[in-house]
Structure 1
Amino acid sequence: MQFGEELGKIQFSLMYDFPDQTLVLRIVKANHLPAKDFSGTSDPFVKIMLLPDKKVKMETKVKRKNLNPIWNESFHFEGYPYSKIQERVLHLQVLDYDRFSRNDPIGEINLPLAEIDLTHEKLYWRSLTPSKKSSGKLGSLLISLCYAPTAGRITITVLKCQNLAAKDITGKSDPYVKIWHMHKDKRVEKKKTVIKYHTLNPVYNESFVFNIPLDRIRDTTFVVSVLDKDRLSKNDMIGGILLGARTSPAEMSHWNEMMSKPRTNIAKWHVLKGVN
């Protein structure tokens, strides 16, 4: 399944200080990172290693709610003879900081230092590639959007979910989907699907109609959450997405396609994001 979401780029500089036998790395910034949080943004930081040495890990500061973070932080790997540096691979992983659960990987690069001229400081831009174990750990949601401008109506059809994170002790979940219609960040209306019991791959095929005049559409968003029904305690959030004109790239492109093809059902898969 291809979701086609760009992971952004990272800028950094490298040089080797020969007298001090030290590799100097400067993490400058990242651009166009994808939103990993429910709010449509991310809290990125960079984890640094010289593979295969996994014991020495360094990290930048966390930049809150920023998809184009600027760090300008320097890191020194001291006591590495040049011959040893030539055998190392620089590993940079960009993660979204999460206070309540595991940090969510955004993307990474692996750069063999033997391929780099380290005799003077040089700036590099590199595109991030998917981190191992990162894609879709909460599962994904197939949803269809249809806009009828003359009627001032949006129909959202919740089709199905795939590979949802298990929330029950049995290794399953009892998932349902909740949709909040928001206007200018105020809750307007809530709709819910039925609950599907003991499954991580529920099929719903349920449609919900929302009346939205054209002049309100720019300030309209939908918070779509997948939850695990729990009889004894608060329902567990599995993950969610935000649909609207000002959301993250994958969700926004789905919304824009709906707007450009009125009265047509546009179905797309979305990777669920954690709720911060």
Structure 2
Amino acid sequence: MPGTRSGVAWSNLKGAAQDIVDSGNPPTKPQVPVTQAITTPLQNNINRKLNGFLSLRTPLIGGSGTAQTKPQNVSSVGNAGEGTAKDSANKSISMTDMYLDSNDPSENVGQIHFSLEYDFQNTTLILKVLQGKELPAKDLSGTSDPYVRVTLLPDKKHRLETKIKRRTLNPRWNETFYFEGFPIQKLQSRVLHLHVFDYDRFSRDDSIGEVFLPLCQVDFAGKQSFWKALKPPAKDKCGELLSSLCYHPSNSILTLTLIKARNLKAKDINGKSDPYVKVWLQFGDKRVEKRKTPIFTCTLNPVFNESFSFNVPWEKIRECSLDVMVMDFDNIGRNELIGRILLAGKNGSGASETKHWQDMISKPRQTVVQWHRLKPE
């Protein structure tokens, strides 16, 4: 009611006047809060660029996630990560916080030089991977065979890679990649991930170091050049696997039962994984027989309840081993290793794995159950 508001206002005014008299200070003008839009230089630059294009045409959005043909040393991705286009502003902020660079890496693993440019007319991000500097030696020759894997997080399905540069710690790649169909607003919710690997012909490629650059931090008004210190990849916990071993000397049957896993490392953008287990029976360094479990979708705590039996003579039971790999299934690209263990009597992947094998031998015909921590390599 008007009368009520007037009475309250008069009461407040009297109280304020009395406070002034008591304090002896002259009255000051009341501060009226003013709401004002705040824009950064980056936003101003982007807005100026967008005014000429958004009024003319709808930004192009490519329909596929496959690489298109470009001139030599050029690669592209059309609308990579369309399935994650619904990211909200809150998600982009949390991703930025997650991947912010540290200016004080714990270990010096070299640097990488690259440039970024945005084509507003064609809604395309242009990345040039230029060179690496002072990379660590991963080979016995005192050199490495480095290459760079490129992704735009949170999309991990679409990967691009540079060519391998042989026997060098200061590689020059000079390769260009095009990420097409990315309106600037969508691009700013992405994080550029550059991961440098050392190619290994006979085993898994070794990780050298990586860089995360939130694209909301980049001024796309012009071409930007970056030198970034590589960070050693984080060695996170991979989870645990519950398994049992049983050996029957009478019929030479070794049985491995994969019961369940817990707290597996998430490999997909939904915070889950699609785990399955791959098992190799080995004699020395020679792989003899392979088995696999079914794939379990969208879970970090799968229950496998899968048993595999192998024919192993008693005289060879101490020489053999089981390489147990928990994998993440990927529809596009290669399946990723979540973690692994090596069950063996002599050179297991840890004391727990060796003890499990020895307990199996010392207790024939008995099922020995044990939890194991998965290792990243």
- TM-score, normalised by the number of residues in structure 1: 0.52
Secondary structure, counterpart of 1:165 in structure 2: coil
Q: CA deviation digits over 1:75-103, x for unaligned, max 9?
A: xxxxxxxxxxxxxxxxxxxxxx9746635
Q: Percent identity?
A: 46
Pairing 1:97-246 to 2, within 5 Å after superposition: 99=208, 102=233, 104=235, 137-246=237-346
2:354 matched to 1:252?
A: yes
Note closer, same or farther for the CA distance 1:147–1:56 as it changes in structure 2 (3 Å cut). Answer: closer
- TM-score, normalised by the number of residues in structure 2: 0.39
Gaps of 5+ in 1: 1-54, 65-96, 105-133
In structure 1, C-alpha distance between the alignment counterparts of 2:240 and 2:369, rounded to whole Å: 13
In structure 1, C-alpha distance between the alignment counterparts of 2:306 and 2:286, rounded to whole Å: 24
Higher relative contact order (CA closer than 8 Å, sequence separation 6+): 1
Per-residue deviation at 1:207?
0.4
Measured on the aligned residues, the alpha-carbon RMSD in Å equals: 2.5
In structure 2, C-alpha distance between the alignment counterparts of 1:167 and 1:254, rounded to whole Å: 28
List 4+ stretches of structure 1 deviating above 2 A.
55-59, 97-104
Give the structure with the higher percent strand.
1
Q: Mark the structure with the bigger radius of gyration.
A: 2
Secondary structure, counterpart of 2:318 in structure 1: helix
Note closer, same or farther for the CA distance 1:103–1:213 as it changes in structure 2 (3 Å cut). Answer: same
In structure 2, C-alpha distance between the alignment counterparts of 1:141 and 1:56, rounded to whole Å: 32
Report the AA paired with residue 283 of structure 2.
Answer: H
Secondary structure, counterpart of 1:251 in structure 2: helix
Per-residue deviation at 1:57?
7.3
Note closer, same or farther for the CA distance 1:215–1:201 as it changes in structure 2 (3 Å cut). Answer: same
Number of residue equivalences? 156
Gaps of 5+ in 2: 1-103, 109-135, 139-205, 210-231
Secondary structure, counterpart of 1:218 in structure 2: coil
Partner of 2:365: 263
Report the AA paired with residue 191 of structure 1.
Answer: R
In structure 2, C-alpha distance between the alignment counterparts of 1:160 and 1:220, rounded to whole Å: 24
Note closer, same or farther for the CA distance 1:258–1:98 as it changes in structure 2 (3 Å cut). Answer: farther
Note closer, same or farther for the CA distance 1:57–1:165 as it changes in structure 2 (3 Å cut). Answer: closer
Give the structure with the higher percent helix.
2
Note closer, same or farther for the CA distance 1:168–1:260 as it changes in structure 2 (3 Å cut). Answer: same
In structure 2, C-alpha distance between the alignment counterparts of 1:270 and 1:99, rounded to whole Å: 27
